[in-house]
Amino acid sequence: MMRCDDISEVLGAWLDGQLRQSDAEEIRAHVAGCPSCGEERRQLEGLQKALRATFQSASTTIVFESFWRGVERRIHQKRSWYEDVRRWVRDFWAPPQMAWSVPIAIILLLLGMFTVESFLPGLRPRESRNNFAAVDSIDAFGRNVAVLREDESKTTVIWLYLNQEGEDESSGETSESGRSF
Amino acid sequence: MSPAAKRANRAVLFSGVVCLVAVLSWAAENVSQTVQINIGAILASNQNDSFDARLTHLEKQLKVLKYRSYRLLKEESQKVQRRGNATFEIPGGRSLVVTPQESGSRQLALKVHLQQGGKPLLDTTVRLNSGGNFILGGPPHEGGVLVISISATAQ
């Protein structure tokens, strides 16, 4: 059961025919039996009639022809390339288009992570690469062995000390192999 | 759905596809299956002052050894699967077995075994950047010493 306060809130919508059939019927029955709501209805209807009359009389004095001509001119008007670019730039920075900045940012980030070298191997000069090798384990089976890391050329050298072909240094013979760096 | 919402949805979908492709390519790059091993067997000696023009790319590194003469005896390249063996015949009846232990796009670990007539001379495990090299030297050969440049590239 609707109260007068509730009816008052939806009275305008009812008069405009915007309510559902069942609601409209309930309000109609209430307004017919309620003097205060009936009075409010009459006032609203009077106000609507007065407004309609005012708008109708004012509309006869407005010249719409120039307005429609303006609309037509703008429809057929050719925009300059400068205007197109300006519009594209403006639209690009508008929020919906800015959504594309997310994948673009991801692509740039990934490019940075992979580095140019990953995509184009050999692009960087050989000299600038860290060519050092790390020796994890080494076994010369009882022979002398040296590991040298030379900073200038970033070279790792493993030097096996053998006195002659196939023999180790314990044989006592000397050769160029027994050098020091 | 409004055009703006459609555009935003498209952008999000595109972001997802980009991320997926990036992750897959990253994974493919980092789980490299094949390694190319290059070796160069060089005779270093003090018999003369010649420098083999084919060794220009190694000149800086070879200078560390302070010999007067360098001559390329053999150059060989083999592609090998991870944990597979690449065997190279080295002058002087020696052989070099290189086994990639692990391989990513940037760093490789190589197990290197040098032997002569079935007798082991050296066993070592070396980690190096893909495309990098190291020098293994010392075995006497033809009045000089044998220097072997070993490089590996993940593919």
The 3-class secondary structure across B75-119, one letter per residue, is: EEEEEEECCCCEEEEECCCEEEEEEEEEECCCEEEEEEEEEECCE
Nearest to B148 by CA among B114, B119, B100, B107: B114
Under an 8 A CB cutoff, do A114 and B26 touch? yes
The pTM for the full model equals 0.54
Say how far apart CA B55 and CA B135 lie, in whole Å: 13
Q: Residue B33 in contact with residue B51, Cβ under 8 Å?
A: no
Query: Would you state the pLDDT for residue B4?
Result: 62
pLDDT surpassing 50 at residue A172 = no
Degrees to nearest 5, angle at CA B97 with B96 and B103 = 130
A133: nearest CB among B121, B122, B126? B126
Which of B116, B117, B137 shows the shortest C-beta gap to A159? B137
| DSSP character at residue B51 | B
Say whether both B53 and B68 belong to one domain.
Answer: yes
Asked whether residue B98 carries a pLDDT value surpassing 90, the answer given is: yes
- Quote the number of domains for chain B: 2
B82 and B119, same domain (yes or no): yes
B24 Cβ under 8 Å from any chain A Cβ: no
Q: What percent of chain B has pLDDT over 90?
A: 35
Q: How confident is the model at residue B9 (pLDDT cuts 50, 70, 90)?
A: confident
Q: Is the pLDDT of residue A178 over 60?
A: no
CA distance B130 to B153: 5
> Which ranges in chain A belong to alpha helices (H)?
4-15, 21-33, 35-59, 65-76, 81-92, 95-98, 101-119
The pLDDT of residue A27: 92
Q: Which residues contact A18 (CB under 8 A, 6 or more apart)?
A: none
Q: How far is A153 from chain B (nearest CA, A)?
A: 6
Q: Are residues B110 and B85 in the same domain?
A: yes
Q: What residues of chain A lie within 8 A of the CB of B8, using their CB?
A: 96, 99
Distance between CA atoms of residues B52 and B153, nearest Å: 24
Range among A59-73, A77-91, B100-114, B122-136 rated most confident: B122-136
How many residues does the structure list for chain B? Answer: 155
> Could you tell me if B15 and B65 lie in one domain?
no
Q: Do B107 and B52 sit in the same domain of this protein?
A: yes
Taking the Cβ of residue B118 and every Cβ of chain A, the question of whether any pair is shorter than 8 Å is answered with no
- Look up residue A113 and give its two tokens: 């992570």
What's the domain range around B135? Answer: 32-154
The answer to whether residues B6 and B56 belong to one domain is: no
Residue B43 and residue B118 in one domain: yes
Are residue B53 and residue B15 in the same domain, yes or no?
no
Instruction: Say whether pLDDT at A116 is over 80.
Output: no
Q: B23 and B74 share a domain?
A: no
User: In this structure, how many other beta carbons lie within 10 angstroms of the beta carbon of residue A128?
Assistant: 8
Q: Are residues B23 and B38 in the same domain?
A: no
Classified as helix, coil or strand, A68 is helix
**Residues B44, B92: one domain?**
yes
Q: Chain A contact for B123, CB < 8 A?
A: yes
Chains A and B form CB pairs within 8 A to the count of 158
Q: What is the mean pLDDT of residues A158-179?
A: 57
Contacts with B144 from chain A: Cβ below 8 Å:
176
Taking alpha carbons only, the member of B130, B35, B129 closest to residue B79 is B35
Spell out which residues of chain B touch residue A134, defining contact as CB-CB under 8 Å: 126-128
Residue A27 in contact with partner chain B when CB distance is under 8 A: no
Which structure tokens are listed for A87?
Answer: 């519009």
Q: Is the domain of B84 the same as that of B16?
A: no
Average pLDDT in chain A: 79
